[in-house]
Structure 1
Amino acid sequence: MPQSKPDKSPLRKFLEALMLVFGAVMFLGFSFGPILQALGPSDSADTANLVTEQLRAQADGYRAVLEREPDNSIALRGLIDTQLQLNEPQGAIEPLKKLVELEPENRQLRAFLAQIQRETGDLEGALEQLQALYKKDPKDGQVLQELADVQLVLGRTSEAIDLLENYLKEVPEDNDVRLRLAFIYARNNQTGKAVALYDEMIAADPSDFAPVLGKAIALSSAADADLRAQAPDLFEQAARLAPPKVREEIRQQAQLYAQRNQPQAVENQETSP
């Protein structure tokens, strides 16, 4: 199983979604079977080494089984599990591919393969898996966003925009995708389209801080100084609407954007006669 990451604040998660941070989790409940019981917290290097040796021995055992029985799903899952516990996700890719080949209708399995491929830098491989998932279910918003993210990382911005726009024609109520598309518009210097989409969401639910915050971020990056001047009030509005535990973070973000957009002072320099 992948090692758990420290919990992040709701605002941090939201901002990372907006920023299309590489490596968004798509673990959709796939179970690798029995997991080794933890030996308990210990600072002992000897204990850590022992656990590592045991995991490597188990991995070798699974590989030996797979040499004789390449389609043994139990050995494949065991090898995947040990590779992930060893923090060696690259070694989990081939057995994952084999499992996907054996269980082509298992969406969770294919989605997890796409996640591992993204995290190890195989973007084209991840794209292939996500496209297969999307083709099977074009209304899966989570897969859609993952697919758009990979396209963006690969520099295929227009393809990502077309994908999201077409999806919203069929599922216009999906606000997660609307937020994603609005941010991509802003990132692609299509501020007018971004603001229009944020305004639609704000009008539909004036109590939701997310589109207000998204609009503030979009205007903060606008080329027009008059538009940038509207951002501070929107940041403050988003802070008032947001849960109390994230208000200070929003205000800190507002300060960062304000500092970034301040005109730099030009020092007067005397010239020699």
Structure 2
Amino acid sequence: MRLSCGLLMALLFASPGVMAQAQDVVTAATALRLEGRAEEAEAMLRPLLPSDDPAVLAALAEALADQDKTEEAVKLYERVVELRPDDEVARTRLAVLLTYCGRLSDALARYQELHALHPSDPTLNLAIAELLVDMDRSAESVPYFEAYLAAVPDDQDVLRKLYHVYEWNNQPKKALAVLERLAMELDASMLAELAERYVEAERARDAMAVFERILAEDPHNLVALKGLGQLYEWENRPEDALPMYEAYLERAPKDMAVRERATRVALDLGLGRVARGLARGLEGERFKGLKSEAAFLDSGPKGTFVSADYAWVTNNQRFSHHAVGPTAGYGLSRHVTLGALYRFHHLFGPDVNKQDHTMLAHEGGIFAESLLPLEIRLDGGASVTAYDTGWTSFNAYAELGRTFGPVVLALRGERRDLLTTAGDVLARVVANGVALRAYAEPWWKLFATGGFEYDRYSDSNNRLYG
């Protein structure tokens, strides 16, 4: 091919009409370059040098540029612009090649000369904007980006670039406006940025809507789970925040900041068991206090409360005991509760003479509940019970237990001292009882208890079930 090109050149220059023949060479060389044969195009054009024909110089410059010989291509285009200063195509190509060479200041000067002639040309505005960003002069690029988008408003790539320029130059309101224009086309990462901009603008509800949109498409998106949890918490919706944090921690269990927030939310909601589970994953001395607080809250005293209680106890001697009444407690802390209670008792069963009869009583008492380290519970109380038969009972108890998930195992000791109130003391009964109790605490308490009691007055052993 090289030989045929040389033969062609010899024939061309041996005949008249050299200028017309040079144009034929340019046409043939351009065709070769467009086929990806830039080296052959260069070989065909070089014999035409030296030349002041702008067409020859431009064609050779393009062939060189295609081979990354941009410095030589720049020199040729500079000569073209000297020969034809009004050739805007050549001036534009020179600016482009100067950019490729890394001569950004020279390229900018060339683009600005063209921009002065065509200030609304979108191609020139975009080229100058991107060049200014590459030169770390992004603040100057803003009016050029804006002018381009005024002509081409739906260019998603340029909108993204302008968003970043606004962000770099501390223009959050304008950055947010661009993201809103992009909202329908944004991927999850850019949607997350949109939500963050809403947060900065104190538009929490808009931010939540964006995070919810992300989760609708990707339920496991960590950025959205974390962000939505924070927003729900800030909006005083802890019951909605906690599930977001828990879902996040399933996939990022080592994020101590989120684990700490989740633990505190669970504590604020009084969810001791959940708080304890979250606190187990906290690592580091600085979380020691929080872990202790979660352990104390879990399954321990629940603070201030008022309740209505009912209990029924029976034994193997046909004895039936019903008790009903209110209980009120005041939480001194998460660890200690003091309270008082009232009970109305209805008792039916055989007396010491094996005769069935009914007895009524009123009871009033006080109690204390506490939670110790290692989830050990210590409760105690005292009460006075007045029976309609004239007896008065002074009662005291202590219970030591430990929680195992929703199950509580406890050892209970109780003493009852009964006296008659008719005239002088006619009789006294002292009963000491010990019971092992187990009960579960899902949403209500289920008691399963058994014990042995020795009644010194009747010298009888009673087995109690309830």
- TM-score (norm. length: structure 1): 0.55
In structure 1, the residue matched to 2:47 is 61
Which of 204, 213, 219 lines up with 2:194 in the alignment?
219
How far has the Cα of 1:230 moved from its partner? Answer: 6.1
- Cα distance in 1 for residues equivalent to 2:71 and 2:213: 44
Q: In 2, are the aligned partners of 1:212 and 1:234 still within 8 Å (CA)?
A: no
CA, structure 1 residues 149+256, in 2 after alignment: closer, same or farther (shift >3 Å)?
Answer: farther
> 1:21-57 deviations in whole A, cap 9, x for unaligned?
xxxxxxxxxxx8442538x99xxxxxx9xx84x5564
Corresponding letter in the other structure for 2:194: L
1:86 aligns with 2:76: no
Cα deviation, residue 144, structure 1:
0.3
Q: Which residue of 1 aligns with 2:389?
A: none
Residue 152 of structure 1: how far off its partner (Å): 1.3
The offset of 1:143, in angstroms, is 0.9
C-alpha displacement at 1:109, in angstroms?
Answer: 2.4
- Residues 37, 156 of structure 1: CA spacing in aligned structure 2 closer, same or farther, 3 A cutoff? closer
| In the alignment, structure 1 residue 137 sits paired with structure 2 residue 118 | yes
Following superposition of structure 1 onto structure 2, how do residues 166-245 of structure 1 map, counting pairs within 5 Å? 167=147, 171=150, 174-176=153-155, 180-199=161-180, 201=181, 209-210=184-185, 216=191, 218-219=193-194, 232=211
TM-score in terms of structure 2 length: 0.35
The structure with more radius of gyration: 2
Counterpart-to-counterpart distance in 2, 1:108 and 1:213: 41
SS in 1 for 2:32: coil
Structure 1 residues 222 and 99, CA gap change in structure 2 (3 angstroms): same
Asked if 1 retains the 8 angstrom alpha-carbon contact of 2:126 and 2:148, the reply is: no
Kindly provide the CA deviation profile for residues 94-146 of structure 1, in whole angstroms up to 9, marking residues without a partner as x. Answer: 11122223333333322222222212211112101111121111111121011
Alignment of 1:268 with 2:290, yes or no, is: no
Q: Which residue of 1 aligns with 2:21?
A: none
Asked if 1 retains the 8 angstrom alpha-carbon contact of 2:122 and 2:152, the reply is no
Task: Give the SS at the match of 1:37.
Answer: helix
Deviations along 1:181-213, one digit per CA (max 9) or x if unpaired, are 3442134342221112443x47xxxxx844788
**Structure 1 counterpart of 2:255, which letter?**
A
Residue 37 (structure 1) aligned with residue 32 (structure 2)? yes
Q: Quick one: which amino acid aligns to residue 77 of structure 1? A: A
> 1: CA distance between counterparts of 2:222 and 2:82?
48
Which one has a larger percent strand, Structure 1 or Structure 2? 2
Partner of 1:111: 92
Q: Distance in 2 between matches of 1:168 and 1:81?
A: 27
Distance 1:104 1:234 in 2: 55
Q: Answer yes or no: is 1:147 the counterpart of 2:128.
A: yes
Separation in structure 2 between the aligned mates of residue 97 and residue 129 of structure 1, nearest angstrom: 11
Contact persistence 2:45–2:56 (CA under 8 A): no
Structure 1 residue 83, shift from structure 2 partner: 0.8
Within 2, Cα distance between the matches of 1:255 and 1:99? 56
In structure 2, C-alpha distance between the alignment counterparts of 1:255 and 1:126, rounded to whole Å: 44
Q: Which has the higher contact order (CA 8 A, sep 6+)?
A: 1
Corresponding residue number in structure 1 for 2:78: 97
Q: Secondary structure at the residue paired with 2:194?
A: helix
| 8 Å contact kept, 2:176–2:198 | no
Out of 57, 60, 64, which is 1:76 matched to? 57
Q: Deviations over 1:203-228 (max 9, x none)?
A: xxxxx844788963743775958687
User: Is the 1:114–1:126 Cα contact (8 Å) retained in structure 2?
Assistant: yes
State the match for 2:139 in structure 1.
158
Shift in Å, 1:78: 3.2
Deviation at 1:153, TM superposition (A): 1.3
Task: Report the secondary structure of 1:112's partner residue.
Answer: helix
Distance (whole Å) between structure 2 residues aligned to residue 218 and residue 138 of structure 1: 33
Match for residue 305 of structure 2?
A: none
1:236-264 per-position Cα deviation (integer Å, ceiling 9, x unaligned)? 89x9xxxxxxxxxxx8xx979879x9997
Gaps of 5+ in 1: 1-31, 42-47, 203-207, 240-250
From the superposition, tell whether residues 88 and 60 of structure 1 become closer, same or farther in structure 2 (CA, over 3 Å).
same
Residue identity opposite 2:98 in structure 1: Q
Query: Deviations 1:50-79 (Å, cap 9, x if unpaired)?
Result: x84x556446424xx22xx4x222330232
Q: Which amino acid aligns with 1:268?
A: E
Structure in which a larger fraction of residues adopt helix: 1
Instruction: Give the counterpart letter for 1:265 in structure 2.
Output: D
